[in-house]
Amino acid sequence: MKRDISDKTDIKILVDSFYAKVKSDELLGKIFDDIMQVNWEKHLPKMYDFWDNILFRTNNYHGRPFPPHLDVNDKIALTNEHFQRWINLFYTTVDEHFIGKNAEEIKFRANSIKQIFNYKINFINHHQSQI
């Protein structure tokens, strides 16, 4: 039986399940593993803190999440398709494991992040192509 996201243990379940999907995804997996060569042992704890902070305002994440996406975009141009796949996998993962107010809130916030990052990257890519 599904329940709502209630603590960092639930965040870890969400993040681990989500990135398992990302790693095996045809479009996104190669970006993380081949192009960026992500160190998962370092990346996952950051993501636990990030989403824990996003949902529960724990103030345990102090990074800047956008600059790493610029680094990715320098190596492979990120597109609307990348961001849409990311949010689809995120929603699917939340819905597989959780139901409730916090589950809906984390999806809402993830979509907001997706929209902002997608807009910024598209803006950068569009203006770089005009130079």
For residue range 116-125, what is the model confidence (pLDDT) as tens digits?
999 999 999 9
**pTM for this predicted structure:** 0.94
Domain boundaries, the chain: 8-128
CATH code of the domain made up of 8-128: 1.10.490.10
The residue count for the chain? 131
The pLDDT score that the predictor gives to residue 127 is 87
Contact 32, 68 (CB under 8 A): no
Q: Helix, strand, or coil here: 98?
A: strand
Over residues 30-60, the pLDDT tens digits come to 999 999 999 999 999 999 999 999 999 999 9
What's the rounded Cα separation, in Å, for the pair 129 and 90?
30
